Structure 1
Amino acid sequence: MYKQGKLKELEDKIGYVFQNKKLIKEALTHSSFSNEQKINKYKNYERLEFLGDAVLELLSSQFIYGTYPEMSEGQMTRLRSTMVCEAALAFCARDILLGRYILLGKGEEATGGRERDSILSDVMEAVIGAIYLDGGIDMANQFVNKFVFSDLENKQLFYDSKTLLQERVQKQAKELVYELVEEIGPEHDKIFVVEARVEGITVGKGQGRNKKTAQQQAAYQALLADMSKE
Protein backbone atom coordinates (compact mmCIF):
# COMPACT_ATOMS: atom_id res chain seq x y z
CA MET A 1 0.00 0.00 0.00
CA TYR A 2 3.03 2.24 0.33
CA LYS A 3 4.87 3.75 -2.59
CA GLN A 4 8.62 3.73 -2.11
CA GLY A 5 8.78 7.44 -2.84
CA LYS A 6 6.54 8.26 0.09
CA LEU A 7 8.65 6.25 2.53
CA LYS A 8 11.79 7.90 1.19
CA GLU A 9 10.17 11.29 1.71
CA LEU A 10 9.65 10.46 5.38
CA GLU A 11 13.15 9.02 5.74
CA ASP A 12 14.62 12.19 4.25
CA LYS A 13 12.56 14.27 6.66
CA ILE A 14 13.68 12.41 9.78
CA GLY A 15 17.24 11.86 8.60
CA TYR A 16 17.22 8.09 8.99
CA VAL A 17 17.12 5.37 6.32
CA PHE A 18 15.65 2.05 7.43
CA GLN A 19 17.48 -1.13 6.52
CA ASN A 20 14.29 -3.09 7.26
CA LYS A 21 11.45 -1.24 5.55
CA LYS A 22 8.89 -3.52 7.18
CA LEU A 23 9.58 -1.86 10.52
CA ILE A 24 8.71 1.66 9.40
CA LYS A 25 5.64 0.41 7.52
CA GLU A 26 4.47 -1.36 10.66
CA ALA A 27 5.12 1.77 12.75
CA LEU A 28 2.84 3.77 10.45
CA THR A 29 -0.03 1.25 10.30
CA HIS A 30 -3.06 1.85 12.52
CA SER A 31 -5.12 -1.13 13.69
CA SER A 32 -8.14 0.18 11.77
CA PHE A 33 -6.20 -0.25 8.53
CA SER A 34 -4.75 -3.67 9.34
CA ASN A 35 -8.21 -4.92 10.36
CA GLU A 36 -9.62 -3.95 6.96
CA GLN A 37 -7.09 -6.06 5.06
CA LYS A 38 -8.62 -9.44 4.24
CA ILE A 39 -5.49 -10.85 2.60
CA ASN A 40 -1.85 -10.30 3.61
CA LYS A 41 -3.00 -8.58 6.77
CA TYR A 42 -0.69 -5.77 7.83
CA LYS A 43 0.79 -5.66 11.33
CA ASN A 44 -0.22 -2.53 13.24
CA TYR A 45 2.00 -0.25 15.31
CA GLU A 46 0.87 -1.30 18.80
CA ARG A 47 3.82 -3.57 19.65
CA LEU A 48 6.33 -1.04 18.33
CA GLU A 49 4.57 1.69 20.32
CA PHE A 50 5.02 -0.40 23.49
CA LEU A 51 8.74 -0.71 22.79
CA GLY A 52 9.14 2.92 21.75
CA ASP A 53 7.49 4.11 24.95
CA ALA A 54 10.11 2.27 27.01
CA VAL A 55 12.98 3.54 24.85
CA LEU A 56 11.68 7.11 25.10
CA GLU A 57 11.37 6.87 28.89
CA LEU A 58 15.00 5.77 29.16
CA LEU A 59 16.31 8.40 26.75
CA SER A 60 14.28 11.24 28.26
CA SER A 61 15.45 10.25 31.75
CA GLN A 62 19.06 10.24 30.57
CA PHE A 63 18.59 13.59 28.80
CA ILE A 64 17.08 15.29 31.86
CA TYR A 65 19.65 13.77 34.22
CA GLY A 66 22.53 15.10 32.11
CA THR A 67 21.00 18.46 31.16
CA TYR A 68 19.65 19.58 34.55
CA PRO A 69 22.19 18.52 37.24
CA GLU A 70 20.52 20.66 39.93
CA MET A 71 17.04 19.16 39.55
CA SER A 72 15.59 16.98 42.28
CA GLU A 73 14.10 13.58 41.52
CA GLY A 74 10.58 15.00 41.81
CA GLN A 75 11.35 17.86 39.43
CA MET A 76 12.90 15.47 36.92
CA THR A 77 9.85 13.22 37.07
CA ARG A 78 7.49 16.14 36.44
CA LEU A 79 9.57 17.45 33.53
CA ARG A 80 9.76 14.00 31.95
CA SER A 81 6.00 13.54 32.17
CA THR A 82 5.51 16.89 30.43
CA MET A 83 8.07 16.16 27.70
CA VAL A 84 6.65 12.78 26.73
CA CYS A 85 2.92 13.21 27.37
CA GLU A 86 0.37 12.67 24.60
CA ALA A 87 0.01 16.36 23.71
CA ALA A 88 3.78 16.88 23.63
CA LEU A 89 4.45 13.92 21.34
CA ALA A 90 1.57 14.91 19.06
CA PHE A 91 3.07 18.41 18.84
CA CYS A 92 6.42 16.88 17.81
CA ALA A 93 4.70 14.57 15.30
CA ARG A 94 3.02 17.55 13.65
CA ASP A 95 6.41 19.24 13.31
CA ILE A 96 7.45 16.50 10.88
CA LEU A 97 3.95 16.15 9.34
CA LEU A 98 3.86 12.53 10.52
CA GLY A 99 0.09 12.34 10.13
CA ARG A 100 0.23 12.33 6.35
CA TYR A 101 2.17 9.04 6.33
CA ILE A 102 -0.12 7.00 8.61
CA LEU A 103 -2.15 4.14 7.12
CA LEU A 104 -5.70 4.46 8.48
CA GLY A 105 -8.92 2.55 7.98
CA LYS A 106 -11.77 4.32 6.22
CA GLY A 107 -13.66 4.94 9.45
CA GLU A 108 -10.70 6.52 11.26
CA GLU A 109 -9.89 8.57 8.20
CA ALA A 110 -13.45 9.89 8.00
CA THR A 111 -13.48 10.95 11.66
CA GLY A 112 -10.21 12.91 11.54
CA GLY A 113 -7.93 10.25 13.01
CA ARG A 114 -4.96 11.51 11.03
CA GLU A 115 -4.78 14.61 13.25
CA ARG A 116 -5.89 13.04 16.54
CA ASP A 117 -3.39 13.55 19.36
CA SER A 118 -3.73 9.99 20.63
CA ILE A 119 -2.88 8.46 17.25
CA LEU A 120 -0.08 10.89 16.44
CA SER A 121 1.61 10.33 19.80
CA ASP A 122 1.28 6.55 19.46
CA VAL A 123 2.83 6.59 15.99
CA MET A 124 5.66 8.84 17.22
CA GLU A 125 6.50 6.24 19.85
CA ALA A 126 6.18 3.44 17.30
CA VAL A 127 8.67 5.20 15.00
CA ILE A 128 11.10 5.49 17.92
CA GLY A 129 10.66 1.76 18.56
CA ALA A 130 11.23 0.98 14.89
CA ILE A 131 14.42 3.06 14.73
CA TYR A 132 15.68 1.37 17.90
CA LEU A 133 15.17 -2.10 16.43
CA ASP A 134 16.62 -1.14 13.05
CA GLY A 135 19.58 1.00 14.09
CA GLY A 136 20.09 0.66 17.82
CA ILE A 137 19.89 2.97 20.81
CA ASP A 138 22.28 5.60 19.38
CA MET A 139 20.12 6.12 16.29
CA ALA A 140 16.98 6.31 18.43
CA ASN A 141 18.74 8.85 20.65
CA GLN A 142 19.65 11.00 17.63
CA PHE A 143 16.02 11.00 16.51
CA VAL A 144 14.53 12.00 19.87
CA ASN A 145 17.18 14.66 20.45
CA LYS A 146 16.36 16.23 17.11
CA PHE A 147 12.57 15.91 17.14
CA VAL A 148 11.46 15.56 20.77
CA PHE A 149 14.06 17.25 23.00
CA SER A 150 14.74 20.26 20.76
CA ASP A 151 13.42 23.77 21.48
CA LEU A 152 12.05 22.70 24.87
CA GLU A 153 11.54 26.24 26.17
CA ASN A 154 9.19 27.13 23.31
CA LYS A 155 7.40 23.78 23.52
CA GLN A 156 6.93 24.18 27.28
CA LEU A 157 5.33 27.57 26.68
CA PHE A 158 2.93 25.96 24.20
CA TYR A 159 2.04 23.01 26.48
CA ASP A 160 1.33 25.31 29.45
CA SER A 161 -0.15 28.20 27.44
CA LYS A 162 -3.71 28.05 28.79
CA THR A 163 -2.55 27.87 32.41
CA LEU A 164 0.04 30.62 31.98
CA LEU A 165 -2.41 32.96 30.24
CA GLN A 166 -5.04 32.34 32.91
CA GLU A 167 -2.51 33.20 35.63
CA ARG A 168 -1.51 36.43 33.89
CA VAL A 169 -5.11 37.53 33.43
CA GLN A 170 -6.04 36.69 37.02
CA LYS A 171 -3.19 38.85 38.32
CA GLN A 172 -4.77 41.75 36.43
CA ALA A 173 -8.18 40.90 37.94
CA LYS A 174 -9.64 40.47 34.46
CA GLU A 175 -11.78 37.82 32.80
CA LEU A 176 -10.51 35.43 30.12
CA VAL A 177 -12.91 33.57 27.83
CA TYR A 178 -12.46 31.42 24.72
CA GLU A 179 -14.95 32.07 21.94
CA LEU A 180 -15.57 29.68 19.05
CA VAL A 181 -15.77 32.02 16.04
CA GLU A 182 -15.74 29.65 13.06
CA GLU A 183 -15.99 26.03 11.99
CA ILE A 184 -14.35 25.17 8.67
CA GLY A 185 -14.85 22.05 6.58
CA PRO A 186 -17.25 19.07 6.53
CA GLU A 187 -18.64 17.51 9.71
CA HIS A 188 -16.14 14.63 9.72
CA ASP A 189 -13.11 16.84 9.12
CA LYS A 190 -13.73 20.17 10.85
CA ILE A 191 -11.23 22.86 11.74
CA PHE A 192 -12.28 24.91 14.77
CA VAL A 193 -11.25 28.57 15.03
CA VAL A 194 -11.16 30.06 18.53
CA GLU A 195 -10.34 33.51 19.89
CA ALA A 196 -8.95 34.15 23.38
CA ARG A 197 -10.61 37.29 24.71
CA VAL A 198 -9.76 39.37 27.77
CA GLU A 199 -12.53 41.72 28.84
CA GLY A 200 -14.05 41.32 25.37
CA ILE A 201 -10.83 42.17 23.51
CA THR A 202 -9.27 39.49 21.29
CA VAL A 203 -5.71 38.80 22.45
CA GLY A 204 -5.01 35.59 20.51
CA LYS A 205 -6.48 33.42 17.79
CA GLY A 206 -5.94 29.72 17.11
CA GLN A 207 -7.28 26.80 15.17
CA GLY A 208 -7.23 23.03 15.46
CA ARG A 209 -9.01 19.76 14.80
CA ASN A 210 -10.75 20.09 18.16
CA LYS A 211 -11.74 23.01 20.38
CA LYS A 212 -9.15 22.21 23.05
CA THR A 213 -6.27 22.41 20.58
CA ALA A 214 -7.66 25.63 19.10
CA GLN A 215 -7.91 27.17 22.58
CA GLN A 216 -4.34 26.13 23.36
CA GLN A 217 -3.11 27.71 20.13
CA ALA A 218 -5.06 30.92 20.85
CA ALA A 219 -3.56 31.14 24.35
CA TYR A 220 -0.07 30.50 22.93
CA GLN A 221 -0.47 33.32 20.38
CA ALA A 222 -1.72 35.64 23.14
CA LEU A 223 1.34 34.86 25.28
CA LEU A 224 3.71 35.45 22.36
CA ALA A 225 2.06 38.79 21.63
CA ASP A 226 2.25 39.79 25.29
CA MET A 227 5.92 38.78 25.55
CA SER A 228 6.80 40.86 22.47
CA LYS A 229 5.60 43.96 24.35
CA GLU A 230 7.83 43.31 27.34
Structure 2
Amino acid sequence: MALDGARQPHLHAPVNARADTLSGLEAKLGHRFRDRALLERALTHPSAVAENQLAPDASYQRLEFLGDRVLALVIADMLIAAFPDAEEGELARRLTGLVRNESCAEVALEIGLPAWIRLGDGEAQSGGRRKAAILGDVCEAVIGALFLDGGLEVARGFVEANWRARMTNWTGPLRDAKTTLQEWAQGRGLATPRYAIVGRSGPDHAPHFLVEVGVEGLAPLTGEGRSRREAEQRAATAVLVREGVWRSETHAV
Protein backbone atom coordinates (compact mmCIF):
# COMPACT_ATOMS: atom_id res chain seq x y z
CA MET A 1 0.00 0.00 0.00
CA ALA A 2 1.42 3.39 -1.00
CA LEU A 3 1.71 5.72 1.94
CA ASP A 4 3.38 8.83 0.52
CA GLY A 5 0.14 10.21 -0.87
CA ALA A 6 -2.01 9.23 2.10
CA ARG A 7 -4.09 11.94 3.67
CA GLN A 8 -2.61 12.26 7.13
CA PRO A 9 -4.68 14.06 9.81
CA HIS A 10 -2.52 16.63 11.57
CA LEU A 11 -2.01 16.45 15.31
CA HIS A 12 -3.50 19.93 15.64
CA ALA A 13 -6.44 19.42 13.27
CA PRO A 14 -9.78 20.99 14.36
CA VAL A 15 -11.59 18.84 16.91
CA ASN A 16 -14.52 18.07 14.61
CA ALA A 17 -12.22 17.11 11.74
CA ARG A 18 -10.24 14.79 13.98
CA ALA A 19 -13.47 13.29 15.34
CA ASP A 20 -14.69 12.60 11.81
CA THR A 21 -11.37 10.99 10.97
CA LEU A 22 -11.50 8.78 14.03
CA SER A 23 -15.03 7.71 13.10
CA GLY A 24 -13.61 6.40 9.85
CA LEU A 25 -10.95 4.46 11.71
CA GLU A 26 -13.50 3.08 14.17
CA ALA A 27 -15.46 1.72 11.22
CA LYS A 28 -12.34 -0.14 10.05
CA LEU A 29 -11.73 -1.46 13.56
CA GLY A 30 -15.34 -2.58 13.97
CA HIS A 31 -15.80 -0.75 17.27
CA ARG A 32 -17.04 2.67 18.33
CA PHE A 33 -15.00 3.82 21.31
CA ARG A 34 -16.69 5.04 24.46
CA ASP A 35 -13.37 6.58 25.50
CA ARG A 36 -11.69 7.97 22.40
CA ALA A 37 -8.74 9.09 24.48
CA LEU A 38 -7.67 5.44 24.49
CA LEU A 39 -7.68 5.34 20.70
CA GLU A 40 -5.81 8.65 20.50
CA ARG A 41 -3.15 7.30 22.84
CA ALA A 42 -2.81 4.09 20.81
CA LEU A 43 -2.05 6.21 17.75
CA THR A 44 0.50 8.52 19.39
CA HIS A 45 4.20 7.85 18.86
CA PRO A 46 6.63 9.00 21.60
CA SER A 47 8.07 11.58 19.21
CA ALA A 48 4.70 13.37 19.14
CA VAL A 49 4.63 13.47 22.94
CA ALA A 50 7.97 15.26 23.12
CA GLU A 51 7.33 17.75 20.32
CA ASN A 52 3.79 18.68 21.36
CA GLN A 53 4.29 18.82 25.14
CA LEU A 54 1.75 16.10 25.82
CA ALA A 55 1.47 14.21 29.10
CA PRO A 56 4.33 11.73 29.63
CA ASP A 57 1.93 8.76 29.41
CA ALA A 58 0.26 9.99 26.21
CA SER A 59 2.15 7.64 23.88
CA TYR A 60 1.15 4.14 22.82
CA GLN A 61 3.88 2.29 24.71
CA ARG A 62 1.82 0.96 27.65
CA LEU A 63 -1.07 0.01 25.36
CA GLU A 64 1.39 -1.78 23.07
CA PHE A 65 2.58 -3.83 26.04
CA LEU A 66 -1.02 -4.82 26.82
CA GLY A 67 -2.03 -5.41 23.20
CA ASP A 68 0.91 -7.75 22.62
CA ARG A 69 -0.38 -10.02 25.41
CA VAL A 70 -4.02 -9.82 24.29
CA LEU A 71 -3.03 -10.71 20.73
CA ALA A 72 -1.05 -13.73 21.95
CA LEU A 73 -3.96 -14.91 24.11
CA VAL A 74 -6.50 -14.67 21.30
CA ILE A 75 -4.23 -16.30 18.73
CA ALA A 76 -3.40 -19.11 21.17
CA ASP A 77 -7.11 -19.76 21.69
CA MET A 78 -7.70 -19.75 17.93
CA LEU A 79 -4.87 -22.23 17.40
CA ILE A 80 -6.16 -24.61 20.08
CA ALA A 81 -9.54 -24.69 18.34
CA ALA A 82 -8.18 -24.90 14.79
CA PHE A 83 -5.54 -27.59 15.38
CA PRO A 84 -6.94 -30.02 17.98
CA ASP A 85 -4.30 -32.69 17.24
CA ALA A 86 -1.24 -30.39 17.27
CA GLU A 87 1.34 -30.82 20.01
CA GLU A 88 2.44 -27.93 22.23
CA GLY A 89 5.65 -27.38 20.26
CA GLU A 90 3.82 -26.99 16.97
CA LEU A 91 1.28 -24.63 18.52
CA ALA A 92 4.08 -22.53 19.99
CA ARG A 93 5.84 -22.19 16.64
CA ARG A 94 2.62 -21.25 14.87
CA LEU A 95 1.94 -18.67 17.58
CA THR A 96 5.40 -17.16 17.26
CA GLY A 97 4.99 -16.79 13.51
CA LEU A 98 1.59 -15.14 13.79
CA VAL A 99 2.30 -12.59 16.54
CA ARG A 100 5.67 -11.35 15.26
CA ASN A 101 5.98 -7.61 14.65
CA GLU A 102 6.03 -8.10 10.89
CA SER A 103 2.56 -9.66 10.96
CA CYS A 104 1.21 -6.75 12.99
CA ALA A 105 2.77 -4.28 10.55
CA GLU A 106 1.08 -6.07 7.64
CA VAL A 107 -2.30 -5.76 9.35
CA ALA A 108 -1.64 -2.07 10.05
CA LEU A 109 -1.03 -1.49 6.34
CA GLU A 110 -4.07 -3.49 5.28
CA ILE A 111 -6.45 -1.39 7.40
CA GLY A 112 -4.76 1.87 6.42
CA LEU A 113 -3.52 2.60 9.94
CA PRO A 114 -0.50 4.74 8.89
CA ALA A 115 -2.77 7.66 7.99
CA TRP A 116 -3.94 8.00 11.59
CA ILE A 117 -0.62 7.70 13.43
CA ARG A 118 0.47 10.85 15.27
CA LEU A 119 4.20 11.43 14.81
CA GLY A 120 6.59 14.21 15.69
CA ASP A 121 7.77 16.23 12.70
CA GLY A 122 11.22 14.67 12.70
CA GLU A 123 9.90 11.10 12.76
CA ALA A 124 7.32 11.89 10.09
CA GLN A 125 9.96 13.38 7.79
CA SER A 126 12.19 10.34 8.23
CA GLY A 127 9.45 8.03 6.94
CA GLY A 128 8.00 6.90 10.26
CA ARG A 129 4.68 5.94 8.68
CA ARG A 130 6.46 3.32 6.59
CA LYS A 131 8.59 1.81 9.37
CA ALA A 132 7.50 -1.73 10.17
CA ALA A 133 8.56 -1.41 13.80
CA ILE A 134 6.27 1.59 14.36
CA LEU A 135 3.38 0.09 12.40
CA GLY A 136 3.58 -3.16 14.35
CA ASP A 137 3.74 -1.35 17.69
CA VAL A 138 0.73 0.86 16.88
CA CYS A 139 -1.29 -2.15 15.74
CA GLU A 140 -0.64 -3.86 19.08
CA ALA A 141 -1.50 -0.64 20.92
CA VAL A 142 -4.82 -0.47 19.08
CA ILE A 143 -5.57 -4.03 20.19
CA GLY A 144 -4.81 -2.96 23.75
CA ALA A 145 -7.14 0.02 23.40
CA LEU A 146 -9.92 -2.18 22.00
CA PHE A 147 -9.51 -4.52 24.97
CA LEU A 148 -9.71 -1.73 27.55
CA ASP A 149 -12.64 0.01 25.90
CA GLY A 150 -14.75 -2.95 24.81
CA GLY A 151 -13.41 -6.01 26.58
CA LEU A 152 -11.87 -9.22 25.34
CA GLU A 153 -14.62 -10.05 22.85
CA VAL A 154 -14.17 -6.74 21.03
CA ALA A 155 -10.41 -7.29 20.81
CA ARG A 156 -11.04 -10.89 19.75
CA GLY A 157 -13.30 -9.72 16.94
CA PHE A 158 -10.56 -7.51 15.51
CA VAL A 159 -7.94 -10.23 15.78
CA GLU A 160 -10.23 -12.87 14.29
CA ALA A 161 -11.02 -10.61 11.34
CA ASN A 162 -7.39 -9.83 10.58
CA TRP A 163 -5.50 -12.98 11.60
CA ARG A 164 -7.86 -15.86 10.72
CA ALA A 165 -6.65 -16.16 7.12
CA ARG A 166 -3.03 -15.79 8.26
CA MET A 167 -3.49 -18.63 10.71
CA THR A 168 -5.12 -20.89 8.12
CA ASN A 169 -2.53 -20.15 5.41
CA TRP A 170 0.59 -20.10 7.61
CA THR A 171 3.36 -22.20 6.07
CA GLY A 172 6.25 -21.65 8.45
CA PRO A 173 8.49 -24.42 9.79
CA LEU A 174 6.94 -26.58 12.51
CA ARG A 175 10.31 -27.11 14.19
CA ASP A 176 11.86 -24.18 16.01
CA ALA A 177 15.08 -22.67 14.71
CA LYS A 178 17.28 -23.29 17.79
CA THR A 179 16.44 -27.00 17.90
CA THR A 180 16.96 -27.36 14.15
CA LEU A 181 20.30 -25.55 14.26
CA GLN A 182 21.54 -27.65 17.19
CA GLU A 183 20.60 -30.91 15.45
CA TRP A 184 22.18 -29.68 12.20
CA ALA A 185 25.43 -28.78 13.99
CA GLN A 186 25.59 -32.03 15.96
CA GLY A 187 24.91 -34.02 12.81
CA ARG A 188 28.14 -32.55 11.41
CA GLY A 189 30.13 -33.28 14.55
CA LEU A 190 30.17 -29.64 15.61
CA ALA A 191 29.80 -28.27 19.13
CA THR A 192 26.45 -26.98 20.38
CA PRO A 193 25.77 -23.43 19.07
CA ARG A 194 26.56 -20.66 21.57
CA TYR A 195 24.29 -17.65 22.16
CA ALA A 196 25.29 -14.35 23.75
CA ILE A 197 23.47 -11.07 24.29
CA VAL A 198 25.50 -8.37 22.53
CA GLY A 199 23.02 -5.51 22.89
CA ARG A 200 19.97 -4.45 24.83
CA SER A 201 17.94 -1.26 24.54
CA GLY A 202 14.49 0.14 25.29
CA PRO A 203 12.60 0.58 28.58
CA ASP A 204 12.20 -2.26 31.07
CA HIS A 205 8.59 -2.93 30.02
CA ALA A 206 9.50 -3.13 26.31
CA PRO A 207 13.14 -4.25 25.98
CA HIS A 208 14.88 -4.95 22.67
CA PHE A 209 17.58 -7.65 22.53
CA LEU A 210 20.40 -8.27 20.07
CA VAL A 211 21.79 -11.81 20.32
CA GLU A 212 24.75 -13.34 18.51
CA VAL A 213 24.98 -17.04 17.74
CA GLY A 214 28.27 -18.78 17.14
CA VAL A 215 28.61 -22.13 15.39
CA GLU A 216 31.98 -23.85 15.23
CA GLY A 217 33.74 -23.05 11.95
CA LEU A 218 31.15 -20.49 10.82
CA ALA A 219 31.00 -16.72 10.98
CA PRO A 220 28.61 -15.60 13.75
CA LEU A 221 25.26 -13.98 12.96
CA THR A 222 22.87 -11.92 15.05
CA GLY A 223 19.14 -11.76 15.64
CA GLU A 224 16.88 -9.13 17.21
CA GLY A 225 13.73 -9.50 19.29
CA ARG A 226 11.61 -8.22 22.14
CA SER A 227 12.80 -11.08 24.34
CA ARG A 228 16.07 -12.99 24.59
CA ARG A 229 14.32 -16.12 23.35
CA GLU A 230 12.92 -14.35 20.28
CA ALA A 231 16.32 -12.86 19.44
CA GLU A 232 17.99 -16.27 19.81
CA GLN A 233 15.44 -17.88 17.50
CA ARG A 234 16.00 -15.20 14.87
CA ALA A 235 19.77 -15.55 15.11
CA ALA A 236 19.45 -19.32 14.65
CA THR A 237 17.10 -18.75 11.72
CA ALA A 238 19.64 -16.46 10.07
CA VAL A 239 22.27 -19.21 10.21
CA LEU A 240 19.86 -21.85 8.88
CA VAL A 241 18.93 -19.63 5.94
CA ARG A 242 22.55 -18.71 5.18
CA GLU A 243 23.62 -22.35 5.23
CA GLY A 244 20.73 -23.41 2.99
CA VAL A 245 19.00 -25.55 5.62
CA TRP A 246 15.91 -23.34 5.34
CA ARG A 247 14.90 -21.45 2.21
CA SER A 248 13.78 -18.38 4.12
CA GLU A 249 12.66 -17.23 7.56
CA THR A 250 9.23 -18.79 7.04
CA HIS A 251 9.87 -21.77 4.77
CA ALA A 252 11.90 -24.85 5.71
CA VAL A 253 13.56 -26.88 2.98
Answer whether TM exceeds 0.5 for this pair.
yes
CA–CA distance in structure 1, aligned partners of residues 95 and 84 of structure 2 = 14
Q: Equivalent residue for 1:114? A: 129
With normalisation by structure 2, the TM-score equals 0.59
* Counterpart residue identity of residue 45, structure 1: Y
User: Partners in 2 of 1:150 and 1:96 — Cα distance?
Assistant: 15
Partner of 1:23: 38
User: Matched residue pairs, number?
Assistant: 158
Q: Distance in 2 between the 1:43 and 1:79 partners? A: 33
In structure 1, the partner of 2:114 is 99
- Matched-pair identity in %: 37
1:150-204 per-residue CA deviation (whole Å, 9 max, x = no partner) reads: 35455x36x89xxxxxxxxxxxxxxxxxxxxxxxxxxxxxxxxxxxxxxxxxxxx
Provide the C-alpha distance between the structure 1 equivalents of 2:71 and 2:101, rounded to a whole number of angstroms: 13
Q: Is the 8 A contact 1:28 1:127 kept in 2?
A: yes
- How far is the alpha carbon of 1:13 from its aligned partner? 1.4
Which residue in the other structure is 2:80 paired with?
65
Residues 30, 45 of structure 1: 8 Å contact kept: yes
Q: Which amino acid aligns with 1:87?
A: E
Q: Give secondary structure in 1 for the equivalent of 2:77.
A: helix
Match of 1:11 in 2: 26
Q: What is the CA-CA distance between 1:12 and the residue it aligns to?
A: 1.1
One-letter code aligned to 1:120: L
Structure 1 position 54 matched with structure 2 position 69:
yes
Distance (whole Å) between structure 2 residues aligned to residue 138 and residue 39 of structure 1: 31
Deviation at 1:39, TM superposition (A): 5.9
Map 1:189-228; keep pairs closer than 5 Å.
Answer: none
1:28-72 deviations in Å (ceiling 9; x for gaps): 000000111136667000000001111111111111011111111
3-state DSSP class of the match of 1:150? helix
Gaps of 5+ in 2: 1-10, 174-253
Tell me the distance in 2 between the aligned counterparts of 1:38 and 1:139.
Answer: 32
- Structure richer in helix, relative to its length: 1
Is 1:127 the counterpart of 2:142? The answer is: yes
Q: Distance in 2 between matches of 1:105 and 1:45?
A: 13
Any conservation in 2 of the 1:90–1:121 contact (CA below 8 Å)?
A: yes
Answering whether residue 164 of structure 2 is matched by residue 145 of structure 1, we say no
In structure 2, the partner of 1:221 is none
Equivalents in 2 of 1:151, 1:29: separation in Å?
Answer: 27
Secondary structure of 2:164's aligned partner: coil
Does the aligned pair in 2 maintain the 1:27–1:126 contact within 8 Å?
yes
C-alpha contact 2:98 2:166 (8 A) present in aligned 1 = no
Preserved CA contact (<8 Å) 2:49 2:55: no
Q: TM-score, normalised by structure 1?
A: 0.65
Which residue identity is paired with 1:121?
G
Q: Distance in 2 between matches of 1:21 and 1:106?
A: 23
Amino acid at match of 1:86: N
Q: 1:88 aligns with which of 90, 93, 103?
A: 103
Contact in 2 for aligned 1:59/1:141 (Cα 8 Å): yes
When residues 40 and 88 of structure 1 are mapped into structure 2, their CA distance, relative to the original with a 3 A threshold, is closer
